[in-house]
Chains A and B, each alone.
Chain A
Amino acid sequence: MNAIGPVEPGEGTAVPRPAGRRPGTGRDRRPTALRRRPLAAALTAALLLAAGVCLYATRPDVPSPAPPTPPAPSQLPFPAQVVDVTFVGPHAPPPGAAPQFFAFELLLSVDAGPEVTVTRVSQPYAGMSVATAPRTPFRTRAGAARTIVITLHVTECETVPENDGLPFLDVTLRNTRAIQEQSFILGPRYAHALSRALQVACSNDSG
């Protein structure tokens, strides 16, 4: 409770700590002032430190706002970025074809860039094969769209799932920039059509 110290120095209490005393300052100051000094020093140090830390912490992320370089002039696009393949619908099979063969119409379009060549169309299952009309490779210009017909042939029903939820075609595309294999997931209508065709194809195996 007597933390402030005596107002008048009592005998022996007024002796300032030798280390903390500077010439000419000790005598006329009360001991409290002396003892406050470390506190003040600590506060100042803490403030300085905090200010320093905060200046450091909030220093601008961007040292010099480097100008974002203007968009590079037309770099050639990768083929998969400009080609779109969409499902149109089932294609009537040639008369007399076995149910193991069925066909779909797709629309392939090229948005921009150089001419794109389709070099291969495949699907992932071992028990099924795919052929296209026109035959691969075929080319499509930018801005053009063409209908292609894929004919699927089921050879082994066991290895082909009948209700694949997300069937896709792997299409290998080439332009002057790159060759890319892209999976085109043709969506729920294709999944539905494929699943129905597979059920027909695989219901009467005798053919």
Chain B
Amino acid sequence: MRQRSLIAITAALAAGALTLTACGSRDSGDKGSDSGGTTVVIGVDAPLTGDLSALGLGIKNSVDLAAKTANKKNYVDGVKFEIKALDDQAQPSSGQQNASTLVADKDVLGVVGPLNSSVAESMQKVFDDAKLVQISPANTGPALTQGANWQTKKERQYKSYFRTATTDAIQGPFAAQYVFNDAKKKKVFVIDDKKTYGAGLASTFTAEFKKIGGQVVGTDHIDPDTKDFSAVATKVKNSGADVVYYGGEYPQAGPLSKQIKASGAKIPVVGGDGIYDPTFIKLAGANSAGDLATSVGAPVETLASAKQFVADYKAGGYKEEYAAYGGYSYDAAWAIIEGVKKAVEDNDGKLPDDARAKVTAAVQNVSFDGVTGKVSFDEFGDATNKQLTVYAVENGAWKAVKSGTFTG
């Protein structure tokens, strides 16, 4: 009897699993058939599950909105856009697999993503070999576009890689300037999570903070898998620091900020765009008031185009927030759409045979007014529009306190 019930349960589970699999693929199965023209797929790679899914789902939905808007306007004659979103779980290995998957799908003419710089590193070459354009809405590591020696000798890494976000080369120093000159904090404790993004940001911050006369009274690196930072918090308290800079993302930054304040050190935690998310405030609790984050772009409320985006996003009925990178993702997707449009128009209204290469070349030269301002790319693939904003936690929400424009 035991054997039997086991078999019954296993069979039921297997049947259920099979049904689920079948229905999972239903989505993509019935789409392409109902359009007469060509279908172009925009790939999306972002963490759609896990700690960073709030950001990743915002990216996916925003790209979806861009594709739908283009279809609605019939922006590229005879071309219908679809998205294909893959989950990289913020893991470089998954990112690379996804990159191969997207390259293998011949309808994919451009990819938006990823969120994490470390994931981008694993994807760049795969896309470049396939001449498939990739635009990241969120990568801020300078080395991705300008090479590992970007401080001394800038060198374009991959012709197919672009980004709409501003790099850490500006973000870290801008935070240092704000902390030192506006917040008047002179002694910093620097913590990072050892990942490409976090460590890079912490080092650009540290370099500038020292240059302008600040003092680094301690450093530590945390393990992003744990939630117990009490030992680090005690170190921070005893270091006499009056501010903490954290290079990393909100799933760790929130508890870290909370535990630092709990240790008795009532000092602000400062971070980059990786902590600029409402979840940070939720995790850090009531004592997070006064914590600071720099993020790329101008505050949404000062951009007319962004307001339009916010309204459309709401009207689109998406379940998740567009989060920190929504506008950048929309612009990244739109840059690909512009690239496809150019490629099609140059080829008498049809997709050329070497569409991927043509789209990549076209993206290099796009220029349009996007959600986040003027969108175009420089010789390294970086966004030419380099605005950034310092936000502070006030009454349980992020509030813009200072904005800057890089015009170098």
Contacts and interface: CB of A to CB of B under 8 A. Distances in A.
Interface of A: 3, 35, 38-39, 42-43, 45-47, 49-51, 53-55, 57-58, 61-69, 71-72, 75-78, 80-81, 84-87, 124-125, 159, 161, 163-166, 168, 178, 180-190
A71 B407 contact: no
A-B pairs, top 7 by smallest CB distance, nearest first, are A187-B408, A183-B404, A54-B23, A124-B181, A50-B16, A166-B173, A46-B12
A68 B212 contact: no
Consensus secondary structure, chain A interface: mixed
A203 to B, nearest CB: 18
Nearest to A166: B173
Interface residues of B, number: 55
Given A81-B298, A124-B182, A164-B211, A47 B317 contact: no
13 contacts: A46-B13, A51-B19, A58-B23, A62-B318, A68-B69, A81-B303, A86-B407, A87-B408, A163-B211, A182-B403, A182-B404, A183-B174, A187-B406
Nearest to A69: B311
A116 B212 CA distance: 32
Between B8, B9, B373, B408, the greatest number of chain A beta carbons within 10 A of the residue's beta carbon is seen for B408
Contacts of B213: 159, 161
Contacts of A84: 405, 407
A165 B174 CA distance: 10
Given A69-B311, A166-B177, A46 B15 contact: yes
Nearest to B176: A166
Nearest to A191: B408
B128 interface: no
Interface of B: 3-4, 8-9, 11-13, 15-17, 19-20, 23-24, 26-27, 61, 65, 68-69, 72, 170, 173-174, 176-177, 181-182, 207-208, 211-213, 298, 302-304, 307-308, 311-312, 315-319, 373, 387, 402-408
B298 A69 contact: no
Contacts of B16: 46-47, 49-50
Nearest to A189: B408
A186 B386 CA distance: 11
A42 B8 contact: yes
Contact of B208 (A35, A63, A165): A165
Given A85-B407, A182-B403, A61 B318 contact: yes
A78 B302 contact: yes
B364 to A, nearest CB: 22
A63 B317 contact: yes
A54 B8 contact: no
Given A43-B15, A72-B308, A181-B403, 9 more contacts: A46-B12, A47-B15, A50-B15, A61-B316, A69-B308, A80-B387, A161-B212, A185-B406, A187-B406
Contacts of A78: 298, 302-303
Contacts of A190: 408
B367 to A, nearest CB: 13
Contacts of B15: 43, 46-47, 50
B302 A180 contact: yes
A3 B407 contact: no
A158 to B, nearest CB: 9
Contacts of A67: 72, 315
B177 A80 contact: no
A69 B402 contact: no
Contacts of B170: 166, 185
A181 B24 CA distance: 50
Contacts of B11: 39, 43
Contacts of B12: 42-43, 45-46
